[in-house]
Structure formats: C-alpha cells, structure tokens
Structure 1
Amino acid sequence: MNMEMALQVIDKMRLPNGAYMASLSKDYNYVWIRDVVYTVLPFLHDRSGRYEKAYHALFNLFKDYEWKIDIHTEKKPVYLFEYIHSRYSTDLKEIDVEWGHAQNDAIGAFLWGVGEGMKHGRKVIRDEADLRIVQKLVDYLECLQYWQAEDNGMWEENIELHASSVGACVAGLKAVKMLVDVKADLIRKGEETLRFLLPRESETKEVDLALLSLIYPYRLVDRKTALTIVQQVSERLERERGCIRYEHDQYYNEGKEAEWSFGFPWLGLCYSELGMSHKVNEYAEKTIRNIPDNWEVPELYIGGKNEPNGNTPLAWSVALSYLFLTRVQSFQTAIPSGNS
C-alpha cells in the first residue's frame, strides 16, 4: 500500500493560507476548525511546516474575529451566529448561512492542538498576539460555562450536553495551562461533568462515535471507561463499511444509518492506545479493505446503498486512516498487502 499517496490526497485539500478544506466536493469545500485539527495530525511529528501553518491560519482567523471573542468572554452567546463559528469559507470568512455553530468541542480541539504542537516542538505560537488569542479562547469557554453548556456537538446537530464536547474542552484547557492562565477550577468542573455523564455521550445518546475522541487523540479517560466506550461502539455502531455515528442517525440514511469510513481507523487508534494488539490487527485489516487504490477515502457509505457519498475524499477520513496504518507499521505488526 502506497502510504505517501495518502499525504498527496490530503495536500489536494490544502489551501494557500495553510488551512484545509474538509473535502473537494462542492458541498464540503469549506474549512471546519475541528476538521483541520484532525487533518494535520499526520504532520505533528515532521518538519514539513504543515502543522504549524494550519494553526497559524486558524490564529489569523481568530484575530479577524477577535472583536466577537471579546464580546463573548463577558457575555454568553444567545443565538447560534453569536458563537465562534465552526465553519468558514476557503478565505477563512464567516458564512452567512444558518448553521449549528455552538460547537464547543471545536474550540477545545484547537486549544488541544496548540498545546500538543508546542509539546512536540512545532512552533505553533508565533508571538504574544497568538498567546493573547489562546487566553481569550480559554476565557470564552469559561464565559460559556462549557461544563454545563448544551451545544450542537461534533455532529452539528441537536443541542444538548455532550460528553465529547466537554471532554474536548477539558483536554484543550489542560494542554494550554502552561501557556496561559487556566484556573484549576475550570478544568475540575469539566472533569466532574464527565464523571456524571460518561460512558454516555448525552441524555439522548448512550453510544456515540464522538466518544472515541476522549481516547484518541485526547487520552482523557481511564482504562475502564475507555474499554466500555470501545466495546459499546464496536458492538452497537460497527457495520460492514465503517461505523454509524449513533443509532437512528438520519444523515444520508436511505433505509439504514450511514457508515462512516473513519470509524475503523479511529477504533484501531483507540485499541492501540489501550495496548490491545490483537484488536489493532483486526482493525488494520478492516481499514485496508476500505481504502481505494487512489487513497480517496470517502466521508461515508450511504445507509442502505453501500456506495460512497459525494464528500470524497474527506480529509479527516484520509488522515485517520493514514495515522492508524503508519502507527501499525511502526509497531512492526503485520499488515496484509493489497486490497480485498
């Protein structure tokens, strides 16, 4: 399998400003903060500059809307458009379309990525102005009272308290507490919410693919909770071509829930974090079966149709598949050659 081709596909979605489109499709050629965070994880350990430049682009975006962040470090957003937007045009401008912008996990993910980048020697922070933005984003989460704030969550849907959103914020705050002022109480309140919510995702969802983020990349939960999460996801959400996001999901549902391509590599990465090599091998095989020769991994397979949707390739799908298979290779675990 040509692993370098994966990076070439990701590069097709890289913009001149350093950020990434979610996909090349006309419906998804926007920039999502969360998608960028996941898409650049393959570059965390290299010197290509892609990791840093992506974060510099997002810092520049936040500076353009610093006036808005300033308002909502003191006054909670009421309407969705008042939140820091989750989705932008390719020139990193807000899009004037109604959207589920209350996505606290995206801000947590960004903060986590900044801290993780610094930890691995990436020059994510350029100057005091970048540090100022980090501090204001921390203050924004405090003003939101993120630990009890209902939001649209990772899937941009119904507003409720999501464990994956609270967890992303906790991970982000922990990651930047050496860079800026983060009150210990701010982290503690989020951890208390997680103790109350987990292993559920929310009041309406017992099992959700988004919970995997608390294992990889955030490494936030203890082993017992992590094992419960992966077991429930494997048993209830896994399907032939990937994982459904949650039971009764209506997105691209044509008789059945859509099957998301990054479900297999994401589960594989989680089992890798847990040191379960036999499961890592199992999900390596499942991931490889799903990867086309051109590495253009789709967002999902339409429920009931077993065919990819138009959001192909999806940057996040390609990145997680690449991350998982390169990790398997580095463990010198046998990977079957070719596709089946």
Structure 2
Amino acid sequence: MASIASQLQARLDDYYRQIKAVILNRQNPITGLLPASTAITAHGDYTDAWVRDNVYSILAVWGLGLAYRKLDADGGRTFELEHSVVKLMRGLLFCLMRQSNKVEQFKETQSLLDALHAKYNTKTGDVVVGDGEWGHLQLDATSLFLLMLAQMTASGLHIIYTIDEVNFVQNLVYYIGRTYRTPDYGIWERGNKANHGNSELNASSVGMAKAALEAINGLNLFGVRGSEASVIHVLPDEIARARITLESLLPRESGSKETDAALLSIIGFPAFAIEDAQLIERTNNNIIKKLEGRYGCKRFLRDGHQTVLEDNTRLYYEPWELQKFEHIECEWPLFFTYQVLDGLFRGNSQKVQHYQECLKALLVFKDGIGLLPEVYYVPLDNIETERELPHSQPRLPNDNVPLVWAQSLYFLGQLLSEGLVAPGDIDPLGRHLCIGRHQDPVVQIALLAEDEDLQAQLAAYGIATQTPKQVEPMQVRQATELSTIYAQLGRNDSLGLTGRPVRRLRSLTTSRIFRVRGETLVFLPTFLDQEQFYLTLDYHFLVDQIRSELAYIQYHWSELGRPTITLLLTHRMWETSFENEAIDSEDLTTSPIQE
C-alpha cells in the first residue's frame, strides 16, 4: 500500500511541476487572471485575459487539486491548487461585475453593443477594447463561466461569498436565458463565416447556454452552508427552448457554417448538452469527415485565420476571398484534446488511445515539457500541392506555444486516463449521464371550477373539479403574478440590477407548485389569460392548445416529481362550448388538486 501511495504521490508531483510551470506561473498575482498565451504576433496580443480561455486554462489546476485530495499528506498542495482556481474564477467575476450596467441593459435589448466584454487586461481587469471595436457578444463564454462555476461549487469549492454576488450570478442567468434566439459572434469572435462582423445564431453558443442553465438551476452558491437566498433559479422553458433550437441546428453550427469543431465542446465535455445519442454521433462524424486532419481539426471550412494567405492588416475578408483558403485551413491540436476527454467519459479506450497518439506526435518540447501549439499551418511553398492533395503536406507550428487552453485540456485528459481523477470528479453534477436518458413523466391536470354552481354542472357530465375555495390554503394565481415575483429574483439596487424582465411565462414554469413566503401557490397557464388571449373563447382552439401544451410539457420536463397543469374552467367557457356543441368529456383527463 505504501508503494502505491508513493507512486501516486510521484505522478501527482510530476504533473504539479508541469502545471506550475505552464499555467500557474502565468497567473497574475493580483487579479488571478491568466493570459491566453505570452505571444504577441501579427495575429493578435495573446497576453490579454479572455473569459473563455481563462475558464478552460484553469481546469487542469482544478483537476490536479481534486487528485491531491486523495492523498493523506499533500504538502498543502490541495489548498494551493483549489484556491488558485477560486482566485481566477473570482477575478473573472470581478471583471464581469464591474460591467453590471451592461448586464442590465442587455436583458432588455440583446444589443451587440450592450454585451459584456469578452476579454480584459490581465494585470488590472480593465476593458482593453471598445464596445464597437470587437465582437464582444460571445454568449458561449459567459455560459462556460456559469457552467464551470456550478461544477466547481458542486465539487466543494467556495467561489461566491456574498448575496450581492449571488444576485449578480442570477442576473447572468437572465443574460444568457435568451441565447436560443440571440445571434452572437460565437466562440471564434467572428460571427458569420464571411468575417464581415455580422452576428448569427450559433449552435455552440446555444448548447453551452443550455448546459449552463441546466447545471446552475437550483444550485446553492454557498454550498451546504447556504440558505434559500443563495439558490439560483432558472426558468425551465428557457432550457426547453434552447434544446429545441439546438436540436434543429445540429449537425450544422450556423447558417453560414456547415459544421464547426467547436461543437465537440457541446456534444461532449464540458457541456454534454445533447441527450440524443444518434444526433451526437452524426455531429461528431460530420466533424471528423469534414474538418479532421493529421495535426488537429480545422475550426470550420474555408477558415483563413493564421494561414499564410491571410491579410493581417484587415479585420474583415472580402466575400470572394474565402475560396482561396479551401484545403489550407490551419489545423488545431486543441480539438484532439476534446476527443480524448470524450472517449474517457464514454469509456471508449480505443478512441482515447488513437487521439493520445495523435497528440503525442504534435507536442513541441521545451524544458522537458511537451507543449501543444495553437495551430499547425501550411507553409507558403506547399500551398498549391496541399490544395491539389489535401492532407499530403507537412505543416509547421505557429509561434503561440503553448495555447494554454489546449494545454490545460491535454493535462486534464492525462490525469483522467491515468486514473488520478475520475470522470465524476470533474463532472460532479453528472451531466455526462444525460446521454440517451429521456424522462416520460405523467402530466397531471388539475381542473378547477369557477364556483360551486359550475362545479355541479360539470359533475353532471362526470367531470370532477374543485373550486379555488375548496383547495385553500393553496392559492391559485395568474401567471402574470409569477412574472412579477421573478422580477424580484436577483434584484440588487447597489449593482443597479432589477431582476428578470417581466415577460410572458410558458407552461413548464407554470406547471410547478411554488412555495412563496410559507404559502403554497399554483399558477394558471398564460394561454388561459382572457385579458391577453381572446382565442381562449374559442373552445376548439383551446382544447388543441391544451393538447399541444401537454405534449410540450411531457417531452421537456426534466425535474423531480410530476408536472401539474392547473386549468380554471369558467361559466363563459362552459356557455361558449354549448353554443357550438356539447363538451366531449374525453377531451381532458382530470385530476383534482391535492395538497
């Protein structure tokens, strides 16, 4: 046993040496932020702190800290590593909180210029590029921050300290809540493939937002020491609509991109955003077929970024230029690290071995540590031959060695493959277990009669109901009142945040039973609000609407317990139905409310 423990200690100490040298030594001692790299090239200043890169770059540190927890004597390294993670996440949190006014504005406008910034000064946390000088609206980055905040909190890290911070995180949930309908610049910051600064709806952004909303829903940000005040609330309909949009987009990335290697982060680690195993396989095969090469994957087809033919003096391309990048797009080793992690979570050892061997051949060694370059590009002399015979020419690594994001995921894959950490350690919320899982809940319908007279008339037709008076102390309220309640969640006057904008609530949200200040409340679905929807007076339409809502609820319900849809029948409905035809009592399955 002592020999096994000493071997484990030796392996962890070796990884500590590498991760300390490659990642932790770059962490700013004041802000806790990490530069994407130390390189300053014609393609950009990589010393800034990108939100996305920072979250990915610290994952190896988090994983190593989890591994050190298993040692009886860790020499203080568990504490050091875990608090390095906390410091970075809080550094990002402070950067975002300083732009709380943008969060408030964006909730209402979804405007590109109201977006949180995508990168900050590593040394100060200040903004580095103006609102209109960069494609800042990158909803996948904010979503990734929330997703890993949830996972890290579930693993036992204490990242959020105050109610002000809880309120801000709640507003970040509102910020990404409409990603399913919000075009953004996406993970590559360019938007449309033509690179003209036009945003578009990206599957990778929608998928990461869906994963973040699912992960943080119901999470207590103070951990086991928290109360109801520190719990984050997510509207289930926003998750459902993200799912609908995502499943309709895949296997494409967007309207302009046939596929994108970024989707690997959606169908696998860290998002695990897709339940449909066949759709996952289709998307993955599409990426392998169209984007994979010997040196990694292309980001997307006709991607000119960092090719020798790209004009670095211009921000945008001309439409006719895209064709000249065909077959010579740069290949990114980064995406092989996603494939390794995916194989490890799925228990596919053959896949893991294949991509680990591919990565081993791509490492550039410095000071005895194997490092992953950002990209491999085709040299100018080999361009024409590569176009004629794709994948035939040798490629060279660029100057950005390592890309810390890629290096972190590489280390994380190594820790997992050697058994130093388990999949459940870095996915304590069990997101990878959702693949192929589908709930088939029983949807309960609770029928209420407007008064006892109507209750008696319905009983004559064999329809059991109760009146609002009979279900007391449970209260029956309109959906608009629930919207008002949600408008108070996350409200923080000190930060200038108002909570959720008052918008129409959908059926998944109103199909839950709520406890508000000690009182039990149920809410009528929005489509029964006669002040807003006159079509409720059309009996045939109303029955079809109810059937449609029941199907929607059954397909998308993912919470514990049974959904309960509460329908209030009125004299006006009853009289309207008789003007056309007698009610078919088989149209509705009844279930009286029971407290």
Partner residue of 1:202? 254
Partner residue of 1:140? 175
In structure 2, stretches of 5+ residues that fail to align are: 1-10, 66-77, 192-198, 219-230, 309-324, 381-394, 422-595
Determine if the alignment matches structure 1 residue 152 to structure 2 residue 204.
no
Partner residue of 2:298? 244
- SS of structure 1 residue aligned to 2:292: coil
**Distance of 1:43 and 1:331 partners within structure 2:** 13
Change in Cα spacing, 1:331 to 1:88, as seen in structure 2 (3 Å) is: closer
Partner residue of 1:299? 374
Per-residue deviation, residues 121-144 of structure 1 (Å, max 9, x unmatched): 1112122122111111112223xx
Partner residue of 2:18? 5
Q: CA deviation at 1:331?
A: 8.2
Determine if the alignment matches structure 1 residue 315 to structure 2 residue 409.
no
- SS of structure 2 residue aligned to 1:293: strand
Partner residue of 2:95? 61
1:161 is aligned, of 201, 215, 237, to: 201
1:96 is aligned, of 129, 148, 151, to: 129
CA-based RMSD: 1.9
Q: Which moved more, 1:297-306 or 1:314-323?
A: 297-306
- SS of structure 2 residue aligned to 1:22: coil
Determine if the alignment matches structure 1 residue 269 to structure 2 residue 322.
no
Q: CA deviation at 1:302?
A: 2.0
**Distance of 1:31 and 1:164 partners within structure 2:** 21
Q: CA deviation at 1:72?
A: 2.0
Q: CA deviation at 1:206?
A: 2.1
1:183 is aligned, of 224, 235, 240, to: 235
Do the aligned partners of 2:264 and 2:335 also contact (CA within 8 Å) in 1? no
Partner residue of 1:220? 273
Structure number with greater CO (CA < 8 Å, separation at least 6) is 1
2:273 maps to amino acid: L
**Distance of 1:299 and 1:274 partners within structure 2:** 26
Partner residue of 2:351? 279
**Distance of 1:166 and 1:326 partners within structure 2:** 29
Query: How many equivalent residue pairs?
Result: 328
**Distance of 2:120 and 2:113 partners within structure 1:** 12
Determine if the alignment matches structure 1 residue 259 to structure 2 residue 351.
no
TM-score by length of 2: 0.53
Do the aligned partners of 1:209 and 1:246 also contact (CA within 8 Å) in 2? yes
**Distance of 1:50 and 1:106 partners within structure 2:** 20
Q: CA deviation at 1:304?
A: 4.1
- SS of structure 2 residue aligned to 1:73: helix
Partner residue of 1:106? 141
Q: CA deviation at 1:288?
A: 1.5
Q: CA deviation at 1:180?
A: 1.2
- Give the 4+ runs in structure 1 shifted more than 4 A: none
**Distance of 2:109 and 2:260 partners within structure 1:** 31
1:196 maps to amino acid: S
Q: Which moved more, 1:42-51 or 1:129-138?
A: 42-51
Q: CA deviation at 1:326?
A: 1.9
Q: CA deviation at 1:7?
A: 4.0
1:291 maps to amino acid: L
**Distance of 2:185 and 2:234 partners within structure 1:** 24
Q: CA deviation at 1:290?
A: 1.4
1:164 maps to amino acid: S
**Distance of 1:196 and 1:117 partners within structure 2:** 31
Per-residue deviation, residues 175-209 of structure 1 (Å, max 9, x unmatched): 21113121111111101101211121111222211
In structure 1, stretches of 5+ residues that fail to align are: 333-340
Do the aligned partners of 2:147 and 2:216 also contact (CA within 8 Å) in 1? yes
1:22 maps to amino acid: A
Q: Which moved more, 1:103-112 or 1:11-20?
A: 11-20
Which has the higher Rg, Structure 1 or Structure 2?
A: 2
Do the aligned partners of 2:19 and 2:60 also contact (CA within 8 Å) in 1? no
1:94 maps to amino acid: V
Change in Cα spacing, 1:251 to 1:276, as seen in structure 2 (3 Å) is: same
Partner residue of 2:34? 20
2:53 is aligned, of 28, 35, 53, to: 35
Q: CA deviation at 1:13?
A: 2.5
Change in Cα spacing, 1:271 to 1:226, as seen in structure 2 (3 Å) is: farther
Work out the percentage of aligned pairs sharing the same amino acid: 30
Determine if the alignment matches structure 1 residue 131 to structure 2 residue 145.
no
